[in-house]
Structure 1
């Protein structure tokens, strides 16, 4: 499969008709690829009486429940081709997803992540503060969701430091030295929402510490589930962050280890966006029919990236709603949407949500 058609275009450059034409053909080829190379996936499609010969629209491509990756080892490559294994987050006692990645898929994930994030913060590498502990990246062959996120976003940084030590304590002295060295420069900060709040913002508040990061940009993700008991929402999170650091450029994103790379970035207007590498469908919980714009339902995500495993069409355990397509005030084409939260009674899971 030729990915150059995606890499040679801006991530938000295609309007509905062009994007559908591109994704319809490519995702159909991916479906055939996984059917021919993953026995378990073939059995599922055969049980559904799915006809590979018919021309399919995006909405007709079968979706797998994301939880299936916690129950089965699914891959469309030989075991010898497995380059690394990605693990979803899971609290003690919970099973985790295992996502098997080969070198080609890993390269494409990095390439797409770079294209998407560069659209928001630029392509030039800048000094970076990772709001986490270096212990997350102990095993480079067995990545957690947090580790994968840190490694992926680290591409945009140079002279990187970790804001927290091995005990998840604030590296106050190291941060001060870093800021003195890069005074008056734009700095890139990355971390997971709960960890940023619990171990960075709350610690600054507790010790009445203020950093001048007014020229900086923060990208965070991993969900808000763990913050529900704190009554902290996105607006309050950004307000506290600005109070103690001066940061005003803050971007959230929606993504999961089961579709690493093709993340959904939050734009300047506060909406999450699909790119030319991905799409989103909202389905009604009652019968899985497609919901109308503005109607809340289960989020289905599609991505062109999963070639080493059959994860190109997944039904998540999250709820959300689409606001529109191609007409966001930020100027980017594609569907834009909001995530409402986890489906009721769904297994709790998230990059930062499972940190204890």
Structure 2
């Protein structure tokens, strides 16, 4: 089958989606049962919009892994002990790493050019987090001695950002939203403020529910712009159940790499799609998920316009997602 990272045209993408659907129907038991339950004849799936999307909740209670792979390594969503947590079994870490690298290079730049700082637990504290694996991989590709995690060391992080800004170094700070807010609260409590940090890029990865006062994404990004004294406030959109990432370079508008696509389904009829610009529930095609499921119906709300998308919240009855509980 064609390498997903070589997709160049819409025809390439459509062909690869249909190939992947056929492969996963044949080799992924839970997906085959789901398609059969819907009384869908796989031979009649001739366009992407007709492909059934597996509810994301299936990752909580079922093995979503093709029969040619072994269930040894996995990512697990964060959460409380009372929650049923999703498990995404990983057959090929090399595929995930290439997806990370290609997406980051397309939207941000080559990782080798940046210093990476994390307001996150380090990898040894949470080895089953896909987010921390991603940041750890980017740090390894970067190879900079200043790379590191600073979740509990706010004063040290402030001093390092100021030092690197003075040296005109290009710095990426990754963090879940509430951890970034906690850090700015610390700065305010110490009456210290970032200055001249235009080489700093902050990438927030979501995660607020249950930890901070709810606010709109626009309000959040404005707080970060002021607190970090930079216009470089970006966002990353992914989840445990995916091996690809979309990025927003501002205004809460995301772009996805060529092997990932967002479709917006009707919340009243999950087998139909809304018109462009209308709000609905997010379906994700992630062709990097070749060994699990590439067609996932999420519980996020959003809309698509001109090939880009916005994330507008959660469907009301959805569980709290794990990112906000990552460091609890």
The TM-score, its normalising length taken from structure 1, stands at 0.81
Q: Distance in 2 between matches of 1:263 and 1:175?
A: 28
Q: Distance in 2 between matches of 1:291 and 1:177?
A: 47
C-alpha contact (below 8 Å) 1:86/1:145 kept by paired residues: yes
C-alpha contact (below 8 Å) 1:125/1:156 kept by paired residues: no
1:287 Cα deviation from its structure 2 partner: 1.4
Question: Which of 16, 19, 33 does residue 23 from structure 2 map onto?
Answer: 33
3-state SS, counterpart of residue 180 of structure 2 = helix
3-state SS, counterpart of residue 257 of structure 1 = coil
C-alpha contact (below 8 Å) 1:282/1:320 kept by paired residues: yes
C-alpha contact (below 8 Å) 1:84/1:101 kept by paired residues: yes
Q: Distance in 1 between matches of 2:314 and 2:266?
A: 14
The answer as to 2:46 corresponding to 1:63 is no
Task: State the partner residue of 1:161.
Answer: 148
* Deviation by residue 1:240-272 (Cα, 9 ceiling, x = unmatched): 334343222111122111112x21211345411
Task: State the partner residue of 1:339.
Answer: 311
Task: State the partner residue of 1:298.
Answer: 281
Structure 1 unaligned segments of length 5 or more: list them.
326-334
Q: Distance in 2 between matches of 1:110 and 1:130?
A: 18
Task: State the partner residue of 1:192.
Answer: 176
C-alpha contact (below 8 Å) 1:281/1:300 kept by paired residues: yes
3-state SS, counterpart of residue 240 of structure 1 = helix
The answer as to 2:248 corresponding to 1:266 is yes
3-state SS, counterpart of residue 241 of structure 2 = helix
- Alignment RMSD: 2.5
3-state SS, counterpart of residue 236 of structure 2 = strand
* Deviation by residue 1:287-333 (Cα, 9 ceiling, x = unmatched): 12211122211111111111221x211110111112x22xxxxxxxx
Task: State the partner residue of 1:107.
Answer: 94
Q: Distance in 1 between matches of 2:162 and 2:148?
A: 11
Question: Which of 183, 198, 207 does residue 214 from structure 1 map onto?
Answer: 198
The answer as to 2:18 corresponding to 1:2 is no
Task: State the partner residue of 1:329.
Answer: none
Task: State the partner residue of 2:240.
Answer: 257
Structure 2 unaligned segments of length 5 or more: list them.
none
Task: Please list every run of at least 4 consecutive aligned residues from structure 1 whose deviation after the TM superposition is greater than 4 angstroms.
Answer: none
* Deviation by residue 1:14-54 (Cα, 9 ceiling, x = unmatched): 6xxx32x2222212222222222222322222222332333
The TM-score, its normalising length taken from structure 2, stands at 0.88
Task: State the partner residue of 1:131.
Answer: 119
* Deviation by residue 1:33-84 (Cα, 9 ceiling, x = unmatched): 22222223222222223323335211111111000110111210456x4452
Residues 1:77 and 1:206: Cα distance change in structure 2 (over 3 Å): farther
1:273 Cα deviation from its structure 2 partner: 1.6
Residues 1:239 and 1:74: Cα distance change in structure 2 (over 3 Å): closer
